[in-house]
Amino acid sequence: MNHHPTIKPPSHARTLAQSHFRTLRLGTPFQPRIDALGFKQDWYSWAGYRAPHSLWDEELEYFAIRSQAALFDISPMTKYRIEGPDAEAYLDRVTLRDVTRLKPGRVHYTAWCADDGFVLDDGTLFRLSPTRFRLCSQERHLPWLLDSAFQYDVGVEEETEAVAGLALQGPTSFAILRDAGFAGIERLKVFDLAEFPHDGTSVTISRTGFTGDLGYELFAPADKALSLWDRLMAAGEPRGIRAIGYTALNRARLEAGLIVANADFTTSEHAIRTDRLRMPDEIGLGFMIDPEKGHFNGRRAILEARAKKRLRHMLVGLEIEGNIPAEHAIVYYRRNQEVGLVSAAMWSPMAKRNIALASLQRPYGDTIADDLWVEIYAMRELQYQKLMKRAKVVPRPFVKLDRRTANPPADF
């Protein structure tokens, strides 16, 4: 071993981090509070974090979203801080929607694609200032984001651990925030964001969410997470606030017709089988594509696929007869020709309908939308009840609530 220059010892931080193997599932900054409420001890791994399926009762948690206010820990969501003079131009090239039209203090839902036009992920883009953004997503994308930054004056930094996130969703969420002392919260229109003072620092609150209901998302430095939680809980107590797990949230998002990466479609960097890749038009995100804006990743492939009619799939909302959820059921045309798969399904308490999201092979769902059926295998006491049910393509969202967008938000 004589070829080598003098070797510096590893940094203290690197050595300290060795011990992570003792905690395979990390806690989020809110973990002490969630552990205290997690009576069910029903955890799953959300990107390596210990996250609750449900804390107490998933039905009650779901109705908290729809009737009172639900508090959901979104800290494990991947977050990138994107900042610099070129941040706008950079994001405009990386993501599908026109970032030049996203004003400071606004948020939009967007997606991004690889060269071949297949979706890498979807997520929300927060414009915190003219030159500062936050991109939130399900999967991780640092190499892609850094490589995209070549020749842009922009910094990209992963800040998942540093920033704690909470979703406060439900009809009383506005009143809770107001009562908690976030002065001026009433001025936030849907997709607005603003900074509010909290515990000697500030918290970013946006009127956004994943429930289709009136709701907000709050981002704070990790060390202010607990005081934020306590502040909301204290103000929300008289208004029925309840911490919830993912099962309840997942129901609400389905009613709202929202899709989840790697549940309703496979993201490009995870698809081993190349026929699983999806273009935006194939998962209902075609509305994001703006051929008139500047160049963006995947533009050429997407426009070519449109022009040459090479789009092969279609993501649709289905309404299915009966009340048995059709999760992961095969979709048929004329009861015998396999044309797709249901990726998420439930009986909707708000719509009183049996709803589903499904991915169909075009032209089904596109030009041929009738005579569709789903084959449901319902396991009942160790026996499958096979049901063939008629399905109808319906627009999304399945549930549309005026209170989500009402201005000023109602106080109930």
Partner 1 sequence: MKAWDAIVIGGGHNGLVNACYLQRAGLDVLVVEKNDWVGGAATSRELTPGFLYSNCSYVCSLFRPEIMRDLELPRFGLQVISYEGGAVFTRDGDYLANYRDHDAHRREFARFSKRDAEAYDRYSRDVTRQCRFIQPLLMRTAPDPTSFRPRDLGELIYLGKKFAGLSAEEMALTLRFWTMSISDFLDEYFETDVIKANFALSGIIGTALGPMSPGTAYVLLHHYMGEVDGSVGAWGYARGGMGAVTKALAASFKASGGTIRTGTEVDHVLVRNGKAKGVVLAGGEEIRGKLVISNADVKRTFLKLVEEKELPDIFLRRVRNFKIRGSSGKVNIALDSLPEFPALPKDSPVYRADMHFTDSIERMERAYDDWKAGRWSADPFLDMMIPTTLDPTMAPPGKHFMSCFVQYAPPKIDGRDWTDADRDGFAESVIAQIAAYSPGFRDRILHMEVRTPREIEAEVGLTEGNIFQGELTFDQLLFNRPVPGYAQYRSPLSGLYMCGSSTHPGGGVMGAPGRNAAAEILRDLAKPTLHMSPAHDVI
Partner 2 sequence: MTSSDLNWDAIVIGGGHNGLVAAATLAKSGRKVVLLEAGNEVGGAARTEEFAPGFRVSTVAHLLNRLHPDVTKTLELEHHGLKVERGDFVPSVALSKDGPLVLHGAYGEVLAGASPSEQSAWKELRAQLLRYAGILKPFLSRRPPDLAGMSLAEMTGLGQTALALKKLGREDMRDFLRVLLMNVYDLLDEQLSDDRLKGLLAFDATLGSHLGPRSPTSLLGLYYRLAGEIGGLAGAQMQPKGGMGTIVAAIRAAAEKAGVSIRQASPVAKVIVEKGRAVGVVTQSGEMLRAKTVVSAINPATTILDLVGPREVDTGFVRKVKNIRMKGDAAKLHLALDRPPQFAGVDAAGHTGRLVIAPSPDHVERAFNPSKYGEFSPEPVMEITLPSLVDASLAPSGACVLSAVVQYAPYALKEGWSAGKPQFLKAIMAQLEIYAPGIGATVRHAELLTPADIEIRYRMPGGQWHHGELQADQMLMSRPVSGWSGYDTPLEGLFLAGAGSHPGGGISGAPGLNAARRIIAMKA
Judged by CB under 8 A, the residue of 187, 270, 300, 335 near partner 1 is 270
Name which of 21 and 150 has its Cβ closer to partner 1.
Answer: 21
Strand 201-206 and strand 215-221: the pairing is antiparallel
Tokens matching residue 19: 């011990």
Partner in contact with 101, chosen from partner 1, partner 2, none, beta carbon below 5 to 8 Å by kind: none
Indicate which single residue of 10, 181, 197, 294 sits in contact with partner 2 (rule: CB under 8 A).
Answer: 294
Where would I find the H helices in 349-389?
none
Contact status: 10 vs partner 2 (CB under 8 A)? no
291 contributes a contact to partner 1 by CB under 8 A: no
Shortest CB 49 distance to partner 1, Å: 8
- E strand or H helix that includes residue 268: none
Residue from 251, 299, 353, 396 binding partner 2 (CB under 8 A): 299
- The answer to whether 262 contacts partner 1 (rule: CB under 8 A) is no
Q: Which of 59, 129, 142, 334 binds partner 1 (CB under 8 A)?
A: 142
Binding map of partner 1 across residues 203-242, x = CB under 8 A, - = no contact: ----------------------------------------
The smaller minimum CB distance to partner 1, of residues 3 and 103, is found at 3
CB-nearer residue toward partner 1: 76 or 284: 76
Instruction: Give the distance from CA 134 to its chain's centroid.
Output: 14
Compute φ and ψ for 235, nearest 5 degrees.
-70, -30
Residue 42 within binding range of partner 2, rule CB under 8 A: no
Tell me: does residue 271 bind partner 2 (CB under 8 A). no
Report the nearest approach of partner 1 to the CB of residue 77 (Å): 14
Pairing label, strands 241-243, 69-73: parallel
Strands 106-113 and 119-129: antiparallel
Contact between 162 and partner 1 per CB under 8 A: no
Residue 257: C-alpha distances to residues 67, 210, 363, 396, 397 (Å):
19, 10, 21, 5, 4
> Is 183 among the residues that bind partner 1 (CB under 8 A)?
no
Q: Could you give the CA distance from residue 109 to residue 88 in angstroms, rounded to a whole number?
A: 15
Beta strand residue intervals within 74-131, DSSP E: 78-83, 106-113, 119-129
CA dist 148 and 94 (Å) reads 7
User: What residues from 135 to 164 belong to the interface with partner 2 (CB under 8 A)?
Assistant: 144, 147-148, 150-152
Residue pair 65/172 in contact (Cβ under 8 Å)? The answer is no
**Cβ within 8 Å of residue 112, ≥6 positions away:** 94, 95, 96, 119, 120, 121, 122, 123, 141, 144, 297, 298
Which residues are registered as beta bridge partners of 124?
A: 109, 136
Measure the CA–CA gap between 345 and 320, rounded to whole angstroms: 9
CB atoms within 10 A of CB 3: 4
Report the partner that residue 4 touches, choosing among partner 2, partner 1, none (CB closer than 5 to 8 A by kind). Answer: partner 1
Q: By CB under 8 A, tell whether 94 contacts partner 2.
A: yes
x/- mask, partner 2, residues 175-194, rule CB under 8 A, reads --------------------
Would you tell me which residues interact with partner 2 (CB under 8 A)? 89, 93-94, 114-116, 144, 147-148, 150-152, 294-295, 297-300
Would you tell me which residues interact with partner 1 (CB under 8 A)? 1-4, 7-10, 14-15, 17-22, 24-25, 45, 47-48, 116, 139-143, 146, 158, 269-272, 274
